[in-house]
């Protein structure tokens, strides 16, 4: 009968032991981390992910049409960035191409807030506009005010850039 008596060295209940709480804490921490990840993903969506494919397709077609129009006109431009003067100068040829106005768009490859649009004005030497100093790599697009054609290129610190229509296939 001695073995039926309650012993003083009986193990404590499970909720007072270390290992059950440790084993519960592992999956609980994964659930908490998953909730944080979901919150983080919904709070700041990635702007590089695009879901409007029809708009992208239309803008691609429009760029191609403008490139083909520039090739048909055989229009070219030479852009010179004047360091220290915050000035951009542009020569456009042939002389038969005389747009009402020109717009120079400089797009930063990573940060859209750094993009610049410069309205160029006609000068005796060609076209000119004010532009803050550029550092790093930029995409350059030149449009007439009516948007009928475009020239595009890329500049990465050079003082001069020549724009020509892309070769048509």
Question: What percent of the chain lies above the pLDDT cut of 90?
Answer: 59
Q: Give yes or no for residue 158 having a pLDDT over 90.
A: no
Q: May I ask the CATH class of domain 62-163?
A: mainly beta
Q: Which of 89, 57, 81 is nearest to 132 (CA)?
A: 81
Higher pLDDT residue, 48 or 23?
A: 23
Split at pLDDT 50, 70, 90, the class of 52 is: confident
Contact 66, 149 (CB under 8 A): yes
User: What's the pLDDT at 169?
Assistant: 57
Report the pLDDT value the prediction gives residue 18, as an integer from 0 to 100: 94
Q: What is the mean pLDDT of residues 89-104?
A: 90
Strand, coil or helix: 7:
coil
- What residue ranges do the domains of the chain occupy? 12-43, 62-163
Task: Indicate if the pLDDT at residue 90 is higher than 60.
Answer: yes
Mean pLDDT throughout 125-143? 91
Mean pLDDT of 11-28: 94
Closest to 79 measured CA to CA, from 95, 68, 70, 90: 90
Residues near 149 by beta carbon (within 8 Å), at least 6 away in sequence: 66, 67, 69, 70, 73, 75, 143, 165
Residue 142 exposed, middle or buried by CB count within 10 Å (0-12, 13-18, 19+): buried
Query: Exposed, middle or buried, 131 (CB in 10 Å: 0-12/13-18/19+)?
Result: middle
Specify whether the CB–CB gap between 85 and 67 falls below 8 A.
Answer: no
Other beta carbons less than 10 A from residue 80's beta carbon: 15
Top pLDDT among 49 and 41 is at: 41
Is it the case that residue 51 has pLDDT exceeding 80? no
Q: How confident is the model at residue 9 (pLDDT cuts 50, 70, 90)?
A: confident
- Average pLDDT, integer, range 154-161: 89
Mean pLDDT of the chain: 88
For residue 35, give Cα distances in angstroms to 29, 30, 100.
10, 9, 56
- For residue 96, the model assigns a pLDDT of 84
**CB-based burial label for 164 (10 Å; 0-12, 13-18, 19+):** middle
Q: How confident is the model at residue 3 (pLDDT cuts 50, 70, 90)?
A: low
């Amino acid at each position: 009968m001695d073995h039926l008596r309650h012993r003083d060295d009986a193990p404590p209940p499970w909720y007072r032991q270390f290992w059950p709480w440790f084993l519960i804490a592992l999956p609980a921490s994964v659930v908490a981390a998953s909730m944080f990840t979901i919150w983080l993903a919904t709070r700041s969506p990635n702007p590089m992910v695009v879901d409007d494919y029809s708009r992208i397709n239309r803008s691609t077609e429009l760029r191609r049409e403008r490139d083909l129009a520039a090739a048909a006109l055989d229009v070219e431009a030479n852009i010179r960035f004047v360091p220290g003067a915050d000035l951009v100068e542009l020569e456009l040829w042939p002389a038969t191409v005389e747009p009402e106005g020109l717009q120079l768009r400089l797009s930063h490859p990573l940060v859209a807030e750094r993009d610049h649009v410069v309205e160029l004005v006609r000068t005796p030497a060609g076209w000119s506009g004010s532009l803050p100093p550029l550092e790093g790599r930029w995409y350059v697009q030149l449009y007439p005010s009516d948007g009928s054609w475009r020239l595009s290129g890329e500049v990465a610190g050079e003082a001069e850039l020549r724009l020509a229509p892309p070769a048509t296939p």
